[in-house]
């Protein structure tokens, strides 16, 4: 049984007049494809795509729904929600000392509790200190590739189902990229559906660790080229009318410098959660304040940090990530491209990436890709626009 595979119509669609294959390759940046020979002959329509500010947790739901995080509700993974936190019950245990509460085993236990008992889904990670967990909720409670998986808007999968388009989805739950490509090729040959969505996740980690090694990247791209050609050929065998596209959610920027923001905050007399809360993503720090003094002190520190800046409400609105209840942060501090927080909630001490994403969408290395055998009927600018392309392709409107 394929992990997270959705087969809404098991009957074979022999009558399918059209087959669409959409492949999402996580982190395949335009800069790594531009000028390279990568499926150029079969996918002649090629362009960069602007990413959504944030990480895959915001960019992929935007791609699946066609609306920004502020509308679909999916941006970063943790958001402030003390009333709705699935970890409210932890509060009576917060008197325990850090050496007990904030150790590896406790975090692992909480991760498993979140995943298995609290319904937070198989991807839940205990990324913030257990001491702070009772203040936060987790966005991806459902599998975003399932129907109804995105909280605030219907996704392409809801829409395909509603239109009666037979489709299949392949994601990384229990499957490697090679296994996904193999399963999809087989299903396409057997005409199992008319729309196929393949999510290949391994490029992300590969580029995090190797984005400065052109030969390794070349070799890796050759592998995808070879395997994806097999999938394309299977689609051509099963149907005369094939629409095929590869896209990505963001790119990968080389990390050149690190910055220890926590060092400055630890020197203050302010304490979490009494005075403020903060979540440190790799390239972003998000803050909530419980008194004006804390806000002032932390803002004055952030204003002096040379490698990043506080995003204005206007910018957050322009990026589609402004939430009036400030659940994702009263203040969002973003590092400049190429910088990385040396200590953050999402990196263990052994995690030393040489590439990172989650920078300002203007950073050219953050651009994703769109490669297809058909011109989109409407111009595509951002990863969010790919949703309309998928809808058109499923209904055979791409030109």
Bond before 273 cis per omega within 30 degrees: yes
In whole angstroms, the minimum distance from the beta carbon of 345 to Zn ion comes to 15
Shorter beta-carbon distance to Zn ion: residue 13 or 210: 210
In whole angstroms, the minimum distance from the beta carbon of 340 to Zn ion comes to 12
Using CB under 5 A as the binding rule, the residues of this chain from 34 to 53 that contact Zn ion are none
Using CB under 5 A as the binding rule, the residues of this chain from 86 to 105 that contact Zn ion are none
Q: How far is CA 265 from CA 72, 84, 285, 345, in A?
A: 33, 28, 12, 14
Shorter beta-carbon distance to Zn ion: residue 60 or 390: 60
Binding track, positions 155-194, relative to Zn ion; x by CB under 5 A = ----------------------------------------
Shorter beta-carbon distance to Zn ion: residue 38 or 206: 206
In whole angstroms, the minimum distance from the beta carbon of 299 to Zn ion comes to 29
CA 150 – CA 142 distance, rounded (Å): 7
Shorter beta-carbon distance to Zn ion: residue 147 or 286: 286
In whole angstroms, the minimum distance from the beta carbon of 357 to Zn ion comes to 6
CA 155 – CA 330 distance, rounded (Å): 28
Tokens describing residue 311: 């995003």
Tokens describing residue 28: 């395949």
CA 3 – CA 170 distance, rounded (Å): 7
Shorter beta-carbon distance to Zn ion: residue 139 or 192: 139
Q: Which single residue is written with the structure tokens 């066609």? A: 66
When CB distances to Zn ion are compared, the closest residue is 204
Report the sign of the C-alpha dihedral through residues 343, 346, 348, 353, in that order: negative
Q: What count of other Cβ atoms lies within 10 Å of the Cβ of residue 167?
A: 24
Size of the site for Zn ion (CB under 5 A): 1
Using CB under 5 A as the binding rule, the residues of this chain from 188 to 217 that contact Zn ion are 204
Tokens describing residue 257: 């410098």
In whole angstroms, the minimum distance from the beta carbon of 74 to Zn ion comes to 16
Residue by residue, DSSP assigns 64-109 as: HHSS-HHHH--SSSEEE-TTT-TTGGGGGGTTS-HHHHTSHHHHHH
In whole angstroms, the minimum distance from the beta carbon of 378 to Zn ion comes to 29
In whole angstroms, the minimum distance from the beta carbon of 24 to Zn ion comes to 13
Shorter beta-carbon distance to Zn ion: residue 27 or 101: 27
Shorter beta-carbon distance to Zn ion: residue 56 or 243: 56
Residues that bind Zn ion (CB under 5 A): 204
């Amino acid at each position: 049984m394929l992990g997270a595979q959705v087969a809404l119509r098991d009957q074979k669609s022999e009558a399918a007049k059209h087959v669409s294959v959409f492949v999402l390759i996580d982190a395949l940046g335009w800069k790594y494809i531009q000028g390279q020979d990568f499926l150029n002959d079969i996918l002649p329509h090629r362009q960069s795509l602007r990413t959504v500010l944030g990480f895959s947790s915001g960019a992929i739901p935007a791609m699946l729904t066609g609306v920004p995080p502020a509308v679909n509700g999916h941006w970063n993974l943790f958001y402030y929600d003390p009333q709705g936190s699935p970890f409210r019950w932890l509060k009576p245990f917060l008197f325990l000392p850090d050496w007990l509460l904030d150790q590896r085993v406790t975090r692992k236990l909480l991760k498993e509790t979140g995943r298995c008992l609290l319904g937070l889904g198989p991807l839940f990670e205990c990324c913030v200190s257990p001491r702070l967990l009772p203040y936060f909720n987790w966005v991806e409670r459902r599998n975003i590739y399932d129907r109804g998986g995105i909280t605030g808007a219907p996704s392409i999968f809801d829409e395909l189902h509603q239109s009666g388009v037979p489709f299949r989805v392949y994601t990384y739950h229990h499957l490697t990229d090679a296994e996904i490509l193999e399963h999809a090729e087989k299903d396409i040959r057997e005409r199992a559906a008319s729309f196929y969505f393949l999510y290949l996740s391994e490029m992300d980690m590969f580029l995090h660790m190797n984005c400065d090694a052109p030969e390794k990247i070349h070799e890796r791209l050759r592998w995808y080229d070879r395997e994806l050609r097999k999938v394309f050929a299977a689609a051509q065998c099963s149907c005369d009318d094939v629409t095929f596209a590869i896209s990505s959610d963001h790119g990968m920027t080389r990390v050149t410098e690190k910055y220890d923001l926590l060092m400055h905050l630890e020197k203050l007399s302010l304490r979490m959660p009494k005075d403020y809360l903060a979540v440190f993503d790799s390239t972003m720090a998000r803050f909530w304040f419980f008194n004006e003094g804390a806000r002032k002190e932390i803002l004055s520190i952030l204003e002096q940090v040379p490698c990043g800046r506080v995003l204005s409400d206007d910018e957050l609105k322009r990026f589609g990530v402004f939430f009036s209840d400030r659940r994702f942060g009263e203040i969002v501090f973003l590092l400049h491209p190429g910088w990385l927080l040396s200590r953050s909630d999402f990196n263990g001490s052994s995690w030393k990436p040489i590439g990172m994403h989650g920078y300002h969408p203007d950073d050219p290395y953050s651009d994703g890709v769109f490669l297809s055998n058909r011109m989109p009927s409407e111009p595509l600018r951002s990863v969010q626009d790919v949703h309309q392309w998928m809808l058109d392709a499923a209904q055979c409107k791409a030109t």
